[in-house]
Homo-oligomer: A and B are copies of this chain.
């Protein structure tokens, strides 16, 4: 019987945050402060909780939280103007627009307006494109957090076969590209809800990532004994929060596994802070000039 190792996102997120705090201190010694602008439109209670959590985490790490709370009836033009102002503001290193925006506002357009060098979420199309180009850029928080968990626990990725179930732009697709980068060198299968024989496909993997939003989809038939299981799912069910993997049923089968909660979840905010300080360091090397105005599709 295998003893399944617990991969604690809480532990890894704490390590990331400690590293971020040290980098903020190092920048402060060069008279450079770090600022994260959060934009919340309307009064969605869940969004308010998320933003409060991000602001509190930032402040705990010495990152200045610059919050903009706009009423639900804000026009797109007003949102656009705010983003363009934040793009130009040298005190702002990261910009986070809490999605979804209220009806009538265009979240995609708004994200596209963010200066890619201040794109704390790593979701601007041009930052996503860099994952294909294999060029450095700010990367999406959740998939980068998954890679960080694997790295922290010394789980070998190079030469291994990862199967990523789920093809969202938030997790599955960028994560597959992170596994595929040169130097990481995993072989990756992008699977999804329409993949035939999904269990058999997953069972070929050394690392199974479940990011598809189906409670307890990944059970013993999906996991080769000893394989690592990363559970990105967060599903609200009558039994409380459950992941996309069956945590109990996989004990003794998976070699290592993230729980839900306290698995991948805490990594998202930690990597947001990581992106913010990375952006601040890059701005510092550029001499804090904002990037140049160029034509881009709106």
Interface residues of A (CB under 8 A from B): 84, 87-88, 108, 112-113, 115-117, 124-135, 158-159, 161, 167, 169, 173-174, 176-177, 180, 182, 185, 187-192, 194-196, 201, 290-298
A195 B201 Cβ-Cβ under 8 A: no
Question: How far does the alpha carbon of A192 sit from the alpha carbon of B201 in the complex, in Å?
Answer: 19
B298 A296 Cβ-Cβ under 8 A: no
Q: Given A115-B296, A116-B297, A185-B194, verify A135-B159 contact (CB < 8 Å).
A: no
Most buried by B among A116, A158, A161, A187: A187
Question: How far does the alpha carbon of A112 sit from the alpha carbon of B167 in the complex, in Å?
Answer: 26
Most buried by B among A176, A191, A298: A176
Q: Given A126-B126, A195-B187, A291-B296, verify A135-B115 contact (CB < 8 Å).
A: no
Can you spell out 11 A-B residue pairs with CB atoms less than 8 angstroms apart? A115-B295, A115-B297, A116-B296, A117-B297, A124-B126, A125-B129, A127-B129, A133-B169, A180-B192, A185-B194, A189-B189
Q: Closest residue of chain B to A116, judged by CB?
A: B297
Closest CB in chain B relative to A125 CB, distance in Å: 3
CB neighbours (8 Å) of A133 from chain B are 108, 125, 128, 169
CB neighbours (8 Å) of A294 from chain B are 84, 112-113, 293-296, 298
Question: How far does the alpha carbon of A132 sit from the alpha carbon of B180 in the complex, in Å?
Answer: 14
Provide the main secondary structure of the chain A interface: mixed
A296 B131 Cβ-Cβ under 8 A: no
Question: How far does the alpha carbon of A173 sit from the alpha carbon of B169 in the complex, in Å?
Answer: 15
Question: How far does the alpha carbon of A292 sit from the alpha carbon of B116 in the complex, in Å?
Answer: 16
A297 B190 Cβ-Cβ under 8 A: no
Please give me the 3 A-B residue pairs with the lowest Cβ-Cβ distance, nearest first: A125-B129, A128-B129, A129-B129
Closest CB in chain B relative to A130 CB, distance in Å: 6
CB neighbours (8 Å) of A295 from chain B are 84, 87-88, 115, 290-294, 296
Closest CB in chain B relative to A189 CB, distance in Å: 4
Q: Given A297-B115, A298-B292, verify A192-B187 contact (CB < 8 Å).
A: yes
A187 B187 Cβ-Cβ under 8 A: no
Closest CB in chain B relative to A28 CB, distance in Å: 25
CB neighbours (8 Å) of A182 from chain B are 167
The 8 Å CB contact of A187, one of B131, B132, B185, B189, is B189
The 8 Å CB contact of A167, one of B108, B180, B191, is B180
Question: How far does the alpha carbon of A88 sit from the alpha carbon of B294 in the complex, in Å?
Answer: 11
Closest CB in chain B relative to A166 CB, distance in Å: 11
A297 B201 Cβ-Cβ under 8 A: no
The 8 Å CB contact of A159, one of B177, B196, B293, is B196
Question: How far does the alpha carbon of A296 sit from the alpha carbon of B130 in the complex, in Å?
Answer: 14
